[in-house]
Structure 1
Amino acid sequence: MKRPDPAVPVDRTLRSRPSERPDPFVAARAAYWKRAPRPSPGRYAAAPNLFAELVGAEYRPDQAPAARPGAATSADLVLAGLRRRVRAGDPPTPEICVRLLADGDHTRGAVFDAWPEAVRRHGRERAAAAVRRGLHGTRTPHLVATLLDLAAAESLAPVARPELLRLAHAPERAVRHAAWRLLAAYDGSFLPLRAAATPGARPVDAYERLLHEALRNPAFPGAPQGTELRPGILVAQSMLMGHLDRPGEGLSGGLGVLLGALGDALAQTDRVAGVLTVVTACVPELEADPVLLHRRDRGHWVLRLPVDSARHVRPDELGRHREALAWWATRLLGSLGRPVDVLHVRYADDGSLALAEAARRSGAALVFTAAPDPHRQMTERHGTPGTDADALRDDLHRVFVADRLVDRADRVVGIAGPGGGADELLRHFPQLAGRTEGAPDAPPEGIPPYRPPLGAVRRIDSLVEAVEAVEARLHATAGPVRPPTPTVLLTVGRLHPVKQQDVLVRAWVESGAFRESVLVCVGGSPSGDDPAERAMRTRMEQAVAACPQAAQRLVLLPALANADVRTLERRLADPSNGFRTRYVCPSAKEEFGLAVLEAMEAGLLVAAPVRGGVPHYLTDGHNGLLIDTSSARTLGEGLVRLLRVADGAAASMARRAQDLVRSTYSSNAMAQALAGHYTAVAPSTRRGRKAAASSRKGPVRRAARAGRQNAVLPDPDGSGPSVLRGPSRPSRPRTTSSSG
């Protein structure tokens, strides 16, 4: 057992965790999947209580409705019933699906998830007729586009070609784009539109030019010049939130760093032929660069999905682009010269569901990284009167999306929890207990080895000089008695409410920690165009406005390249450079905390949230500090505790943390673990197993492996093409069972 350093103050309040208390939301979900008795509402039954009503409607259909009016609307209850039916594999009729499309974004998302099974169960003709009646009964452009998307999702023909061509010339972008995608399902459909002179049929920007090209050319974007892939499976991984190589700006954070390094490492494993990291590109980004497939490293490419948006879409906006994303992903993943074997999605959002649908259509296996977020905080956030109704609805939608991804996935993996396994995941996803492959694995996440970036010395010098200038200014105004050198408190992350930089600054001021430290916050776009970032900076500046001393000790730096961040951390961690530096992560929670791992690897003493996945690798008082970040008061107490750790004890803990990260948490180890999962669920592996079981002959197994064809993708060294052609793989049937 790891023991805390006796020289480190112990925070005994951390022994009591909110997750140890009875949780009615967890109990309701467990009872729904028959893993536990029906829950008692307990103290969360105060009325009117929207949380209790919606949880009861969604998970406890046998519960009698309240005799008095409740807080839930009729639309809330209809949506709860729809989700319950979808979870049970009993979708509504096509007519009901069409009628529910007008009930809001969350209901529309549930309808799209129910639609494939509804069409299969009730027939294509009935489904097409339902869409046709819906189109004839509305003139609302948004609803018309949604109905066309619903038809395109299952390649239905709800209207005659002349009527569809009329819609393809509509002035509303959403309508004509949906009509164009549906035309792709009509035989030879797009040729008449190509010759049309109507302005609405002419591409007006990069997105529409790419859409036209994709419709005209089935091989778009085609197989670029390059070199054949190695034997093995072709893997795609999704990165739909933020930018891959701009951590700390907007929504770009540790996931981009993780997937960039992971893709590079996966491409070098024996069982993987190549890796595609799937990202999104909005209209301005497409105008600047219309190329959709870029080489990142040998065997690793970035595939960009066009999104019809004037800016990078946020997770809560992806539902409006769901069918378009599924269409683009299916089209592009099928144009690479050979099929993608495995698609790995992360995050419970509509973008991941769109890619899951693309996997179903293209025949790729689906792997989902599940996390108990927002599950673990549902009762705490919403279980008492006065909850934010819209926030509750959003969280229930995310829980539903996660359930659908679990149901669709061929394999579910988790993020290791405090016990090193997936026990917490099973608690919040009780349906996983019935899957045939057993409890989900939790492959260790990790960071790539540190490599000094080229030309970093001058860049890092300028950043260090900014910190040194603050210290020099403090010494100059201190009078004849030279004060002790202040501790540098460093934090790195995108400026976002969940990262809580504003709470950190407020805690730093209110606790008095500013009197003996300099706070350095790294993150945010240099342009300041993002509204969320501007709001966060404003709150941080307001927190020090009434305290000039603190304002002098606050250093705000824009986001840096990941390699520069790690170089800066090394410089500040080296005591020979004259700094006494500690790292603090103020996030409300971290599912894993890659930035925390990087600070530990650099040799810094780290204080990080007790909530989330950090306690899996950080033991309080042994290799860092766990702090309560739930309020400014508790975070301030954690900062004071961090500053009170003696230098000798800090060095010992930092050394233990550094040894752990370097020996255990590497992107190479993560790649090896995931490659095993990918190989196990790849369609070629399943076909090979089936053939081996039926014939028990070695040549059959070799033939199954040989059946996977190589592709032509960009070569890192720019060498010429090597074309190998093979038959395309038909889509394999997928059921809605939760079994693996």
Structure 2
Amino acid sequence: MFVAQSMLMGDLDRPGEGASGGLGVLLGSLGDALARTDRVGGVLTVVTACVPDLEADPALLRRRDRGHWVLRIPVDSPHPLRADEVGRHREAMAWWATQLFTSIGRPIDVLHVRYADDGSLALAEAARRAGLGLVFTATPDPHRQVTERHDTAAPDPVALRQDLHRVFVADRLVERADRVVGIAGGGRGTAELLRYFPRLAARGREGVLSAPPEGIAPYRPSAARARRSGLVLGRIDALAAAHPADRPVVLLSVGRLHPVKQQDLLVRAWIESGCHRESLLVVVGGSATATDPVERAMRARMDEALASCDEARERLLLLPALPNPDVRMLERSLAAPTGRFRARYVCPSAKEEFGLAVLEAMEAGLLVAGPLRGGVPAYLVDGDNGILMDTGGAGSLGAGLRRLVQVEDDRARAMAARAQRLVRSTYSSTAMARALAHHYTAVTERKRRNAL
């Protein structure tokens, strides 16, 4: 098979900057792993390219790894595509994708889209025009969000319209998909999808299938990464030296600067809970240039939280996004039992669909605290291999931070070891690729039978 997968927001190779997050890391490693499976002969990861990107590099197709290519869909925009702008480009994206899908010299068998947005709908239309099979990863979010956000006497009409449009898009994608898979995390998620998408029940056994758990690529150290990690550790060292303590607690948080990631709430909760007096906070994420308006707004809210507490400002280190291999090297260095720090990882997101960064921190050997909402509870068991937190407000998040900081070192090491064993035995990109290849094969074979 020749398989295509999409990531239309952000830069595949620059996670943590702008709209680029864990999906880029996931699809990069997943595409490489899919290309090495027996059933898949090639993988195409579909991204977007704005006008400045195309002026710097006009090539639309480039090789990423053996059997894995990146296809760039041109977008007539002066800056990287933002979520609120995709709708106006939908038809142009569908046209470009159709032309490129049918002209690259090798028939594509199946396309996998993951977000309920206009970009996915554009690619679904291109798949229909080009005769590709379509797989859609559905989540209950658009529908559930309407219930949660607008159950008031006077809902915000603009926000309600946006959420209802996402519901519309999700319904269209479910209608058009040859196979719908649910987000990983157990049978409850599948049952919830059937509640929100009742027409899936009419498909019987082919209604909605559980997706395989997300996985991470094998860790590969290098001397260059060790040097870069050493520079970051040096900055943390300098921060610790200014506040002497015997192996200080370092709280690490990695992710793009975005309201759903809630780094501003993390800083506020860290201060209001008093955790700033007994820990250092290291936040990694965002671009170095700070030109993205969402990132600027997040930094402004973090500064606002720090304004009333000079002591906290001196214990916070905000670093721009690092390449994923550098993040994993840094996490390993911080987790080393003979290291200079007692490091823990915190994910303050409102929710994570699965939480790739959480898995990577667990695999590195860090004790992790993550959100109750979303897919993290599928693998993180509170008090056993990590800590689950209510991240719905500063008070509850602060209580979770206090639990994380106060875990005794011996217990922290035992919990982190259990988490590390789980991730290494269960959550690999290779296992995910094999499971998805099974879904893609089923779609491809069914289309071939129907064509006879």
Q: What is the TM-score when the length of structure 2 is the normalising length?
A: 0.97
1:468 aligns with 2:229: no
Distance verdict in 2 for CA 1:601–1:355, change over 3 Å: same
Q: Say whether the 8 Å CA contact 1:453–1:564 is kept in structure 2.
A: no
User: Over residues 518-562 of structure 1, what are the superposed CA-to-partner deviations in whole Å (9 max), with x where a residue is unaligned?
Assistant: 000000001111111111111112211111110000000000000
- Aligned partner letter, 1:430: P
Inter-partner Cα distance in structure 1 for 2:342 and 2:195: 42
Q: Say whether the 8 Å CA contact 2:185–2:213 is kept in structure 1.
A: no
Unaligned stretches of 5+ in structure 2?
none
User: Over residues 323-364 of structure 1, what are the superposed CA-to-partner deviations in whole Å (9 max), with x where a residue is unaligned?
Assistant: 100000000011111221101101000000000000000000
Distance verdict in 2 for CA 1:340–1:616, change over 3 Å: same
Given candidates 274, 292, 297, the residue that maps to 2:60 is: 292
- Determine the structure 2 residue equivalent to 1:573: 335
- Shift in Å at residue 690 of structure 1? 7.1
Q: Say whether the 8 Å CA contact 2:187–2:210 is kept in structure 1.
A: no
- Determine the structure 2 residue equivalent to 1:564: 326
- Determine the structure 2 residue equivalent to 1:653: 415
- Determine the structure 2 residue equivalent to 1:445: 214
Q: Say whether the 8 Å CA contact 1:583–1:606 is kept in structure 2.
A: yes
Question: What is the correspondence of 1:325-724 to structure 2 with a 5 Å cutoff?
Answer: 325-417=93-185, 419=187, 422-436=190-204, 437-475=206-244, 483-682=245-444, 686-688=447-449
SS of residue matched to 1:278: strand
Q: Say whether the 8 Å CA contact 2:269–2:395 is kept in structure 1.
A: yes
> After alignment, is 366-375 or 667-676 more displaced?
366-375
- Determine the structure 2 residue equivalent to 1:270: 38
Q: Say whether the 8 Å CA contact 1:504–1:635 is kept in structure 2.
A: yes
- Determine the structure 2 residue equivalent to 1:237: 5
Inter-partner Cα distance in structure 2 for 1:354 and 1:511: 46
SS of residue matched to 1:303: strand
- Determine the structure 2 residue equivalent to 1:127: none
- Shift in Å at residue 386 of structure 1? 4.1
Inter-partner Cα distance in structure 2 for 1:385 and 1:543: 31
Distance verdict in 2 for CA 1:454–1:361, change over 3 Å: farther
Inter-partner Cα distance in structure 1 for 2:140 and 2:328: 29
User: Over residues 496-528 of structure 1, what are the superposed CA-to-partner deviations in whole Å (9 max), with x where a residue is unaligned?
Assistant: 000000000000011101000000000000111
Inter-partner Cα distance in structure 2 for 1:269 and 1:458: 34
Question: What is the correspondence of 1:147-296 to structure 2 with a 5 Å cutoff?
Answer: 233-296=1-64
Distance verdict in 2 for CA 1:421–1:538, change over 3 Å: closer
Inter-partner Cα distance in structure 1 for 2:272 and 2:227: 36
SS of residue matched to 1:497: coil
Q: Say whether the 8 Å CA contact 1:316–1:349 is kept in structure 2.
A: no
Unaligned stretches of 5+ in structure 1?
1-232, 476-482, 692-740
- Shift in Å at residue 442 of structure 1? 2.0
Given candidates 83, 99, 106, the residue that maps to 1:315 is: 83
- Aligned partner letter, 1:446: G
- Aligned partner letter, 1:407: E
Inter-partner Cα distance in structure 1 for 2:87 and 2:260: 21
- Shift in Å at residue 421 of structure 1? 5.8
Inter-partner Cα distance in structure 1 for 2:140 and 2:80: 26
User: Over residues 213-233 of structure 1, what are the superposed CA-to-partner deviations in whole Å (9 max), with x where a residue is unaligned?
Assistant: xxxxxxxxxxxxxxxxxxxx1
Given candidates 31, 47, 72, the residue that maps to 1:304 is: 72
SS of residue matched to 1:589: coil
SS of residue matched to 1:335: coil
Q: Say whether the 8 Å CA contact 1:235–1:274 is kept in structure 2.
A: yes
- Shift in Å at residue 425 of structure 1? 2.4
Distance verdict in 2 for CA 1:420–1:385, change over 3 Å: closer
- Shift in Å at residue 254 of structure 1? 0.2
| Identity within the alignment, % | 70
Inter-partner Cα distance in structure 1 for 2:131 and 2:208: 25
Q: Say whether the 8 Å CA contact 1:421–1:442 is kept in structure 2.
A: no
Q: Say whether the 8 Å CA contact 1:453–1:563 is kept in structure 2.
A: no
User: Over residues 284-327 of structure 1, what are the superposed CA-to-partner deviations in whole Å (9 max), with x where a residue is unaligned?
Assistant: 00000000000000100000000000001112211101110000
Q: Which has the larger share of strand?
A: 2
SS of residue matched to 1:521: strand
User: Over residues 88-126 of structure 1, what are the superposed CA-to-partner deviations in whole Å (9 max), with x where a residue is unaligned?
Assistant: xxxxxxxxxxxxxxxxxxxxxxxxxxxxxxxxxxxxxxx
SS of residue matched to 2:121: helix
- Shift in Å at residue 420 of structure 1? 7.3
- Aligned partner letter, 1:625: I
User: Over residues 126-168 of structure 1, what are the superposed CA-to-partner deviations in whole Å (9 max), with x where a residue is unaligned?
Assistant: xxxxxxxxxxxxxxxxxxxxxxxxxxxxxxxxxxxxxxxxxxx
SS of residue matched to 2:79: coil
- Shift in Å at residue 418 of structure 1? 5.1
- Shift in Å at residue 454 of structure 1? 4.8
- Aligned partner letter, 2:137: T
Q: Say whether the 8 Å CA contact 2:217–2:429 is kept in structure 1.
A: yes
